[in-house]
Structure formats: structure tokens, C-alpha cells
Amino acid sequence: MEKREQLYAGKAKSIFGTDDPDHVIMLFRNDTSAFDGKRVEQLDRKGMVNNKFNAFIMTKLQEAGIPTHFVKQLSDTESLVKTMKMIPVECVVRNLAAGSLVRRLGVQEGLELNPPTFELFLKNDALGDPMVNEYHVQSFGWATAEQLARMKELTFKINAVLKDLFAAGNMLLVDFKVEFGIHKGEVILGDEFSPDGCRLWDKDTREKLDKDRFRQNLGNVVESYELVGQRLGLTF
Ligand code: TMP
Ligand code: ASP
């Protein structure tokens, strides 16, 4: 597999072409962004930690029957993934109230949500990733009704698999964001799953172990990501 020119650079990852049109290389950088890119900092080792974490989670999801773009880890900071057309919508499931839900609805952080909620956000930093509904997704042509139904089904399945996985490491999966794309006509999971895109709390102390440490200036950001991985049996 030959690495070719950079095709795209997001806030934390870059995509490179390869000699195979069906595959691209995803590079995890140390850049850490919050508040729709308004704050960006370099955190030493984060690219490596998130690449390894993502490889582990994507493999677990694939084993559970969830189709993903992940093929294999190539180096400390790079993974090979399938080429796909991204659907510009973020799918969020929340098991406990936190973040923007607390701000929007004035509920207590940590409130248990039963059943878990499902929310959609348009990927658009300039607009601050506004929340959208299922009609917006279809009316603007971001996804068809069938694709949307599949995204929702897969997002809840991911929640079921990962809630148990993190529970085994004595952690609560508070909420998470996933993104999907179309590969050969099929909806598959894209982007990444790492502590950058979810909330994880220690089950006993409710200590935050995810990107809220960066957003809220709590310190030990990458150390906490590594701790999460170690609790799942990963070594970095
Ligand atoms: P929120 O509480 O800010 O709406 O975020 C919900 C979850 O989704 C949280 O785990 C962070 C994640 N998320 C992202 O990773 N990127 C985003 O752009 C957004 C809006 C949320
Ligand atoms: N990932 C988004 C950003 O870069 C949202 C966030 O994590 O706060 O701003």
C-alpha cells in the first residue's frame, strides 16, 4: 500500500490517498479541538493513543456485527480505512445527561435517561454544529429515510456493545457521537471512536475521563485517555 497525497485535513485527523481507490489512510494528529474548533491545542502522544484506542474499539464493533470503515492499524498514528462518502450528520446517543443537553434543557448533569436519547447534529463548524431533526436530514438530502433508519439502528447497537465494554472497566458511557458514510451502497461506521468523541465517567467516583478534561481545563487529558484504554486491557 503506497501512501499518496493528502486529500483532506480535519481538526484532529488527516486523510491521505493510496494507490488503491477503495482505501485511504487516516492519520491521527496531536491536535485537540473544542467548541467547534475555536480552541485547538497540541497534546503530546494523543494521536498515538487515539489511533490505538480507535483500532481496538472498531475491531470490537466489527466483531459485534457493526460494519465499519476500519481495515487495520498501519503505524502508531495511522490506520487504513475504506474510502467512503461521508454523511454530514453526527449521531449522538446519551445514557446520562451532560454537556449541551444540560445547557439546553436545564437538567441536572448525570440524570439517567431511560430510554437513552438519540440526537442528530449537522457537521458545520461555522454554524456551531446545530441540532437537526430526522426530517431535516431527509429534506436536505443528507441521507435517505432508509439510510437514516440504519444509522439510528447501528448507533443504538454501538451503545449496547460499548456500554457493556466500558462497564467491564468500571466506567459509565455517558454519551457519544458517531458518524457514518456510504461505501459501495452500504451505510458503514466512519470517523473514529475515542475519548475525544464520547463521555466516560468512573463508575464509583464519576470522575471525567474524556475530552471534558480538555474542555473544562481539568488537566491530565491524555493520561486519562490512556487510563481508559488500560482499563480495557490496552497498552500504549
Ligand atoms: P454535546 O453534549 O456537546 O452535544 O456532545 C454530545 C457527545 O457528542 C459528547 O460525547 C461529545 C460528542 N460530540 C463530538 O464529539 N463532536 C461534536 O461536534 C459534537 C456536537 C458532539
Ligand atoms: N469536536 C468538536 C470541536 O472541535 C466539538 C467538541 O469536542 O467540543 O469543537
pLDDT of residue 52: 98
CA–CA separation, 147 and 182 (whole Å) = 9
- 141 and 201 inside one domain: yes
Helix, coil or strand: residue 78: strand
Say if 234 falls within a structural domain. no
- 144 and 119 inside one domain: yes
Amino acid (1-letter code) at residue 156:
F
Say if 137 falls within a structural domain. yes
Residue span of the structural domain in which 77 resides: 3-82
Say if 236 falls within a structural domain. no
CA–CA separation, 86 and 188 (whole Å) = 10
- 97 and 192 inside one domain: yes
Amino acid (1-letter code) at residue 142:
W
CB of 128 shorter than 6 A to ligand 2: no
pLDDT of residue 92: 99
Q: For the chain, what is the domain count?
A: 2
- 89 and 187 inside one domain: yes
Encode pLDDT of 17-31 as tens digits: 999 999 999 999 999
Encode pLDDT of 200-217 as tens digits: 999 999 999 999 999 999
At 227, the pLDDT band (50, 70, 90 cuts) reads: very high
At 1, the pLDDT band (50, 70, 90 cuts) reads: confident
Overall average pLDDT of the 175-199 stretch? 98
Nearest atom (ligand 2) to Cα of 12: 4
- 41 and 155 inside one domain: no
Say if 60 falls within a structural domain. yes
* Residue 111 DSSP label: -
CATH of the domain at 49: 3.30.200.20
pLDDT of residue 188: 98
CA–CA separation, 155 and 108 (whole Å) = 24
CB of 211 shorter than 6 A to ligand 2: yes
- 33 and 141 inside one domain: no
Pocket of ligand 1 (CB under 6 A): 90, 92, 98-101, 121, 129, 175-177, 197-199
Q: Which residues, other chains included, contact 83 with Cβ-Cβ below 8 Å and sequence gap of 6+?
A: 21, 22, 23, 24, 183
What is the residue-wise DSSP string for 120-182? EEE--GGGT--EE-HHHHHHTTSS-HHHHHHHHHHHHHHHHHHHHHHHHTTEEEEEEEEEEEE
**Closest residue to atom 1 of ligand 2, CA basis:** 34
CA of 47 to the centre of ligand 1 (A): 19
- 187 and 94 inside one domain: yes
Q: Which residues, other chains included, contact 164 with Cβ-Cβ below 8 Å and sequence gap of 6+?
A: none
Say if 231 falls within a structural domain. no
- 59 and 167 inside one domain: no
Overall average pLDDT of the 45-70 stretch? 98
pLDDT of residue 51: 98
Overall average pLDDT of the 51-70 stretch? 98
- 121 and 22 inside one domain: no
- 102 and 197 inside one domain: yes
Overall average pLDDT of the 178-205 stretch? 98
Say which residue the cell 472498531 belongs to.
58
Residue 125 has pLDDT above 90, yes or no: yes
Say if 202 falls within a structural domain. yes
Say if 226 falls within a structural domain. no
The residue to mutate among 92, 121, 125, having the most atoms of ligand 1 within 8 angstroms of its beta carbon, is 92
- 77 and 130 inside one domain: no
Retrieve residue 147's grid coordinates: 439510510
Overall average pLDDT of the 100-112 stretch? 98
CATH of the domain at 91: 3.30.470.20
- 129 and 58 inside one domain: no
